[in-house]
Chains A and B, each alone.
Chain A
Amino acid sequence: MPSDQFELETAPADVGTLRRVAIDPVSRVEGHGKVTLLLDDDDRVQQVRLHIVEFRGFEKFIQGRPYWEVPVMVQRLCGICPVSHHLAAAKALDHVLGVERLTPTAEKVRRLMHYGQILQSHALHFFHLSSPDLLFGFASEAGRRNIVGVAAAYPEVARQGVLLRKFGQEVIRLTAGKRVHGTGAVPGGVNRSLRREDRDGLLAEIAAIIGWSQQAVQLVKRLHAADPVLYDGFGTFRSNILSLVGTDGALDFYDGHLRARDADGQILVDGFPIENYQQLIREEVKAWSYMKFPFLAALGPQHGWYKVGPLARVQNCDRIPTPLAEGERREFIDHGQGKLIHAPLAYHWARMIEMLHAAETIEELLHDDDLSGSALTSSGARQRRGVGVIEAPRGTLIHDYQVDDDDLVSSCNLIVSTTHNNQPMNEAIRRVAQRYLNGRQLTEGLLNHIEVAIRAFDPCLSCATHALGKMPLQVELRDAAGILVGRLAAAS
């Protein structure tokens, strides 16, 4: 294997004729992607790749549009977590307007919207997309592996999942105007506060929502306890982790600074200001996928890649600022016995802890009268550039805009949560392929193991392929054994 290549990313040139198996499309994820496997005559796995086959173009067509249109336009990247894009864009444009501090009402309405989204997205992912694998088994009957099958076998679990998501969607509707693709956040603030009767309606349900979120955490813990070898070992690989943490080091989905740890849990970077993210992160382009491969610049592409999302966040923060979720976080950390937990299936556990935290935070916010205030927007001294970072359900989301004096956007850079997890997802499926598929006759159930590993990251492949325009193109010349003998990079 060439030293600058990941194992199983590219098949060796000397293994003879290879057979191609494709999982196309990968199901029960957001967006369109496929996995290709190359197998030799003895069914040994020689190459595994997760390809993202969508192509969007948001970074290009946002150019030349007025800046106040951006939060509404870019949220169309996604139908599952549009609030993340809506808020990340609004936060970036707050800086363009020179707003250093939102009004209390604006900040709290945005937070409520965001935590509502975390709740609904995590519920959707766990109950609708992943629970069929976890409850029935990865190789169980394919026709049953869906939310309808869960509803038949575990009606109360399915009911709670559906109602949890519904509640999160309702929070979004009341703060953004619509369940999907609303307009609540505007540059410099919000366009509405929460009506008191709407707040009372949400408060009437919140106790049940918190209770069901606790039950969801217990369910995942029972699954781990029932088969620790599987849950701790399935597709497990070590990597760095990255996330936003609050300025006090606590878990914060809406604001803070960047923190990265190495695979042993040692802090690599802390308190990193978001506007300098380009000094922290670089992106690599590979010919076989539309999705880029980000890495920590200081460590390079081979060693600098990292995980984002619930598994990273819950272990990266110092604490969770709500009591029930903090208790669960401590138990989760104890499960690692002093080490970082890297198991992809532990994403589900961390995700449900975050869902509980979101429910608790929503309750706290609903008791805050600022939510119904009338001061909605702020302004300041106009700037040319703004960066907004937020923790989307799937991980760290970065929006970066430049706006000219005529109010039109002149450039846009988006680094989307799923993109950060590109290399981790590829690593996970290669581990799974080696462990479960190598040398065996492939069946649908075995191939679903690959999809289970991808689903653990809750990827949104639609979001992750937003780029168009100047790609940092690089041509590499390799000899028959795959050894790099020359490289030509276009100056950009």
Chain B
Amino acid sequence: MSPLSILLDGLPVPFEDHQTIMDAALAAGIYIPHLCHHPEFEPQGSCKLCTVKANGRYVSACTMPARDGMEVENNSPDLNDKRRTLLQMLFVEGNHFCPSCEQSGNCMLQALAYELEMLSPHFDQFYPNRPLDASHAEVLLDFNRCILCELCVRASRDVDGKSVFALSGRGIGKHLIVNAESGRLADSNFALSDKAAQVCPVGVIIEKRRGFAVPIGERRYDVEPISVQAERLRPRRAGEEC
């Protein structure tokens, strides 16, 4: 019996049962832009950056199960236009000041903006007022940069078993909160060693007093653009060395 495969931008890409389009693409080293997806966590399909056309329909690659013979359009001008617009909306909703952000060069949002050639925010800036939480001795929370990907929520709940983070509010009022009576990180049981401290794709969860330690030229996306780092993101099989 021939192996299962999808046709991704015209290339046959094999997949295994229960894999999504994203899983199949990453396993093959093919990059589909994404922000809220992380191979170690259950997909949730909220950022929509990974939107592809599967058999003519717009779907989230991270949640759509692959089907044998499925024709998937990924790297096309139409889809990249839409992704660029999504990025622009994410930029104006928060306060993303790359010039002075310590995550610059290591930030997936910024790397994607370069990758998709976003030249301006296009929309009016919201300039939300989001105070920092610097209460924790080792970690700073800068909510200005939150894109509501919920990776920290999932990591804290599913890996750390702490549920330190959650989203509160609805629609435009939705925001990241800390599950503590006071709402302060210092009053939670969060620790720098938590998985949740390692997964933020932007610059919300920041290790204190470490900013700008890595020189320009040696930061993650200085070395290679995000699109050629797909191989590092692919899910590992049991027993496979990283």
Chain A residues with a Cβ under 8 A of chain B: 64-66, 68-69, 71-73, 76, 176-178, 181-184, 186, 191-192, 406-408
B209 and A68 form a contact (CB under 8 A): yes
Please indicate the chain B residues that have their CB under 8 angstroms from the CB of A177 in the complex: 215-217
Q: How far is the CA of A178 from the CA of B218 in the complex (A)?
A: 12
**Is B112 among interface residues, defined by CB-CB distance under 8 A?**
no
B131 and A72 form a contact (CB under 8 A): no
**Is B212 among interface residues, defined by CB-CB distance under 8 A?**
yes
* A72-B100, A76-B99, A181-B99 as given contacts; A66 in contact with B212, CB under 8 Å: no
Residue of A66, A186, A192 with most partner-chain B CB within 10 A: A66
B216 and A407 form a contact (CB under 8 A): no
B97 CB to nearest A CB, Å:
8
Q: How far is the CA of A177 from the CA of B208 in the complex (A)?
A: 22
Q: Is the interface of B mostly helix, strand, loop or mixed?
A: loop
B98 CB to nearest A CB, Å:
11
Which of chain B's residues has its CB closest to A377's CB? B213
Which of chain A's residues has its CB closest to B101's CB? A69
**Is B102 among interface residues, defined by CB-CB distance under 8 A?**
yes
Please indicate the chain A residues that have their CB under 8 angstroms from the CB of B208 in the complex: 66, 407
B100 and A407 form a contact (CB under 8 A): no
Q: How far is the CA of A76 from the CA of B134 in the complex (A)?
A: 24
B101 CB to nearest A CB, Å:
8
Q: How far is the CA of A101 from the CA of B99 in the complex (A)?
A: 29
B186 CB to nearest A CB, Å:
9
B44 CB to nearest A CB, Å:
30
A192 and B100 form a contact (CB under 8 A): no
Number of CB contacts from chain A to chain B under 8 A: 55
* A66-B140, A68-B102, A406-B135 as given contacts; A191 in contact with B214, CB under 8 Å: yes
- The list of the 9 closest CB pairs from A to B, nearest first, reads A177-B216, A73-B100, A406-B134, A68-B211, A192-B215, A191-B215, A183-B212, A72-B100, A408-B134
Q: How far is the CA of A200 from the CA of B191 in the complex (A)?
A: 45
Please indicate the chain B residues that have their CB under 8 angstroms from the CB of A68 in the complex: 102, 209-212
**Is B132 among interface residues, defined by CB-CB distance under 8 A?**
yes
Please indicate the chain B residues that have their CB under 8 angstroms from the CB of A176 in the complex: 216
Instruction: Please tell me which one of the listed residues B99, B101, B140, B215 contacts residue A407 in the complex, with CB atoms under 8 A apart.
Output: B140
A191 and B213 form a contact (CB under 8 A): yes
Please indicate the chain B residues that have their CB under 8 angstroms from the CB of A186 in the complex: 211-213
A182 and B216 form a contact (CB under 8 A): yes
Which of chain A's residues has its CB closest to B134's CB? A406
* A186-B212, A191-B212, A407-B208 as given contacts; A69 in contact with B131, CB under 8 Å: no
Q: How far is the CA of A406 from the CA of B186 in the complex (A)?
A: 11
Give 26 A-B contacts (CB < 8 Å), ordered by A residue: A65-B132, A66-B132, A66-B134, A66-B206, A66-B208, A66-B211, A68-B102, A68-B210, A69-B100, A69-B101, A69-B102, A69-B212, A73-B100, A177-B215, A178-B216, A182-B216, A183-B215, A183-B216, A186-B212, A186-B213, A191-B212, A192-B215, A406-B134, A406-B135, A407-B208, A408-B132
Within 8 A of A (CB), among B106-149: 131-132, 134-135, 140
Q: How far is the CA of A396 from the CA of B208 in the complex (A)?
A: 31
A160 CB to nearest B CB, Å:
29
B131 and A64 form a contact (CB under 8 A): yes
